[in-house]
Amino acid sequence: MKEKLDKIEFIQEHLREPERLLEEEFMNWLQEEENKHLLEEVTTNRMAFLQKEYGQQIEPELEWQKLWQQMQKDFHTSIPEKKKINRRVWYSVAAGVCVLMALAGGLLLQQGKEKKSVSPMAQIEHVGKRSAQLIVSTGEVLDLSQEEIYQKAVDGTLITNDTLKLLSYQSNAGETYTTGTNAPEKVNKETVYHTLRVPAGADYQVTLADGTKVWLNCESTLRYPVEFGDEKREVYLDGEGYFEVNKAAEWPFIVNAEQMQVKVTGTKFNVKSYSTEPIVHTTLVEGSVWAYTDQTQVQLTPSEQFRYDKETGKTSVQKVDTELYTGWIEGMFVFRNQRLEDVMNDLARWYNMTIFYSTAETKEIRISTNLNRYKNIDDLLEIINESGKVVVARKDNTITIHAR
């Protein structure tokens, strides 16, 4: 408890003299996740206090604009004591945007201030890749990121992982499933499951034992049988996956996601169901699917999307441009007049970044762009900057955004 109180006092000292928020010592201290969260807690409470004390006199966005202009104009110019910025103005700025200042101040201020000395930092490549872990029934974890081709018999099935980072399954008995047929007859035995886990900044593809192809997006997990039973094909998804299901008229394929189930016999569709997001949805590209919740069941036709709000329980069906929801399997982020917060959420998950906005209104700015998922994050941020709508800057794994 004493350590936390000491840290709070350290933060308060800097808030009393907001110029110190840009000191290198403070910015370095803020790189620790625990310190960053504590600063957010303190500034949130501080803003509530100041708003209660000064009411409508405080306009954080306006004060940010003033401070932004002032810093870019004469950050290196000493200010005589009698001309220092009004303390209440500094307080409102510190309370509303000190996180932005502390994390990105040095980087943002460098625009147009090339003479400012910056300590050299090692450059870290933030790029997309293909990577995954395969967890087999014994609990053994196989790293699928290695480049060499390998084959391995696991749980009675031959698995292959090739140089293109594609995982596939084939029964040791040489059993194959023919498109358009019913489920093959099998000897009853215990179902064995594997789990494919994809980290942030990566994707992967797997061909299941029935020939169904699945693309998994970053921070996704797919649990599936090594061999499917003769009544149904059933898998479990946490995250985002694109499915091309091998058709078998009497052998349904079922995707279980959080509070939603998708049932098909052969089709192409995308399911997005992250446990950290309030909305789950499935988007149909080709064929036909049934989407289920506890209260609803809907049959979709191509280009329709079923959405379920986990917080309100509401469902909806709408026509969509499927490219917006499937472009990722082609290595692209595709955005069409979408909220900046939604755009940055996708980038943040892919590149494992933390995002800060100067105001809530900044999140509502609309963006349209195509971005290559396998490019360095800085290349993508430069494209967003070129939109002319926002100023975006990155320091390590933190991105700050300010409306122009």
All CATH 3.55.50.30 domain ranges of the chain, comma separated, are 332-403
Residue 107 has pLDDT above 60, yes or no: no
What's the confidence (pLDDT) of residue 23? 73
The distance from CA 227 to its chain's CA centroid, rounded to whole angstroms, is: 31
**The residue to which tokens 């049988």 are assigned:** 225
Structure tokens at 173: 């008995």
Mean pLDDT of 32-47: 72
Please state which architecture CATH assigns to domain 332-403: 3-Layer(bab) Sandwich (3.55)
Q: What is the pLDDT, as a whole number, of residue 69?
A: 54
- In tens, the pLDDT along 76-94 reads 444 444 334 344 333 434 4
Is the pLDDT higher at 269 or at 116?
A: 269
**Is pLDDT larger for residue 178 or for residue 240?**
240
Tell whether the model's pLDDT for residue 244 goes beyond 90.
yes
Give start-end residues of each CATH 2.60.120.1440 domain in the chain: 129-326
More confident position, 340 or 59: 340
**pLDDT > 80? residue 55:** no
Among positive and negative, which fits the CA dihedral 325, 326, 329, 335?
Answer: negative
Determine the pLDDT at residue 151: 82
CATH of the domain spanning 129-326: 2.60.120.1440
Largest Cα separation within the chain, whole Å, is: 89
Tell me what pLDDT residue 336 has. 93
Six-digit token string for 356: 């800060």
What is the per-residue pLDDT across 347-369, written as a single tens digit (0 to 9) for each? Answer: 999 998 999 998 889 999 999 99
Residues 6+ apart with CB under 8 A from 179: 211, 246, 247, 248, 266
State the pLDDT at residue 250: 87
Q: How confident is the model at residue 340 (pLDDT cuts 50, 70, 90)?
A: very high
